[in-house]
Amino acid sequence: MSTLYRHWEIIDRARTGKFMDEEDFLPRHFSPTLKKLIKKYEIKYDPKNPSPTDDAMADRIWQAAWDLFREVGYYNTDSHRIIEVTDEEIKEALYMASDQYVVGGGKDARVMKHRSVEDPEPPFCIMSPDITVDEKYHQSMCMAYLKEPLLDGLCGPILEETFGHLIESGGPTEISGCIQHIQNQKMAARLLGRPDTFMVAVGTAEHDSGQIAVSNDEWGVQKTDARLVGSLTEFKTADTLLNRSLHYAQYGCYTGSLTGAIYGGWCGGSEGTAITTVAYSLIGLVIHGAMFNQHFPFHLNYVSNTTRELLWPISMAGQALARNSNLLYTSNGFANAGPMTEMLFREVAVHAMVSTVSSWHLWEMASTRNKYRNRATPLEARLGCEVGHAVARQKMSREQANEIANKLLAKYEDHAADAPMGSEYHECYDTAKAVPTVEHMDMFRRIKDEIAQMGVEFPY
């Protein structure tokens, strides 16, 4: 149980809360408060340790995040009002939050539960290309991901066209594209013998009407699936987003809160990014009644989170959440390089390893900075999830992860700005059979062997 029963109070505050001009919210309210809290709680980024072990700082980050949410609130861009909450309401929501859920159905059902720091239980693995794909490759890519044995949940690729028509937000083409999206995904699951696989859907929907159109337990997004409601960066929402979380609650499916704190933006550096990420988990729970929070903090210039200035806040945020709550949260990897490049495989390995030892579940992998159509494949997601399972099973410590992370970072970190774009899906996968090419598999195995030699004990 979360705060679903408080939706109407939240919606009322989105209309009656404190008024503020939108142009004043971030520079005069959010950022000054965040800077004050960084100083008050003595939060300090350590570039030498992408996988830090400072428990006391993790606890201070938690308290700073709590204060940030309570003091700043959550801004509605439509009403120009601030949704404010109290300490008691945050405490109530945390007390009522469940530490585990059964998602998916039948033989495909999975348990997603809270993880601790250095938890020996493997992470829940949601796989997603996180990119747009040509209409002709959409079902093939869905099938390729669903062939992955470590996949616990799927968030499918995004359509930009439906039956040859460009999808326009809020119009008939969006509804058509969303229906096509979920039916391709469900059909792929059925064809592969995984009909009730947990799905997070549908990424094609930009407008609330697109999400509402696919709520159908027979052919669409089922009640055993999850939906995402995003945030406007930073600490902002809008009526169309509040519409989504209300609909998800009333329909009866699971709600996930989707947020990406921006390093180099209003959050400032690594310290502010860590605090804001933790605060977003509280926002997801209290404002949207989310059963899990999906976080993808990213670099303003690189649009990635696999360099040390982002790995540190990811690790610290996970530790802060694990030590002070029983919440569920997924670490969404954003890499610089594209598919079938050695750099991408190393990036995903570091992201998955640091995230896993820091208590996160995994959401892998947005390749090529989440920018370019068709540039993602299941193999990078496979490596990330295999790393996650390996380091959990071998009970890898944060110190061990830190040592390996620094070795791998040395191989790619200097190329964050000029990372290779790699290949498109159809260039490194047989799209008819939804299997990787020999060349792609050879590179996967070679980098996997390299990582194994550094100390990651893969189970197979």
Cα 280-281-283 angle, rounded to 5 deg: 60
In the predicted model, residues of the chain with pLDDT beneath 70 are: 1-5
- Residues of 155-181 as b/e, b for ≥16 C-beta within 10 angstroms? bbbbbebbeeeebeeeeebbbbbbbbb
Q: How many CA atoms lie within 13 A of 331 on its CB side?
A: 37
Per DSSP, the three-state class of 115 is coil
**Is 11 within a domain?**
no
Q: Report cis status (omega within 30 of 0) of the bond before 112.
A: no
User: What pTM value is reported for the model?
Assistant: 0.97
User: Pairing relation of β-strands 165-166 and 100-103?
Assistant: unpaired
* Residue 89 belongs to some domain of the structure: no
Counting the structural domains of the chain, the total is 1
- Domain membership of residue 125 (yes or no) is yes
For 101, the 3-state DSSP assignment is strand
CATH (domain of 390): 3.20.20.460
Bridging pattern class, strands 429-430 and 435-436: antiparallel
Q: Is 82 part of a structural domain of the chain?
A: no
Amino acid 283: pLDDT: 97
Q: What is the pLDDT of residues 104-136, one digit of tens each?
A: 999 999 999 999 999 999 999 999 999 999 999
Structural contact between residues 257 and 284, judged by C-beta atoms closer than 8 angstroms: yes
Distances (CA, A) of 385 to 20, 124, 189, 334, 342: 44, 9, 19, 14, 17
- What pLDDT, on a 0 to 100 scale, did the predictor assign at position 2? 46
Could you tell me if residue 161 is inside a domain?
yes
Sign of CA dihedral 92, 96, 99, 102: negative
- The set of residues, in sequence order, having a beta carbon less than 8 Å from that of 306 and lying 6+ positions away, is 333, 334, 335, 336, 347, 348, 350, 351, 412, 416
pLDDT computed for residue 7 by the predictor: 85
Range of 342's domain?
A: 100-453
In a domain, 162, yes or no: yes
Give a yes or no: residue 61 inside a domain: no
| pLDDT value, residue 3 | 56
| % of the chain residues with pLDDT over 90 | 97
Measure the CA–CA gap between 255 and 250, rounded to whole angstroms.
Answer: 11
User: What six digits make up the tokens of 42?
Assistant: 């003595």
Residue with tokens 């493997």, as numbered in its chain: 122
Cis peptide leading into residue 202 (ω within 30°)? yes
Q: Is residue 9 part of a domain?
A: no
Residue 397 DSSP label: -
CA end-to-end span of the chain: 38
Q: Which amino acid is at 209?
A: S
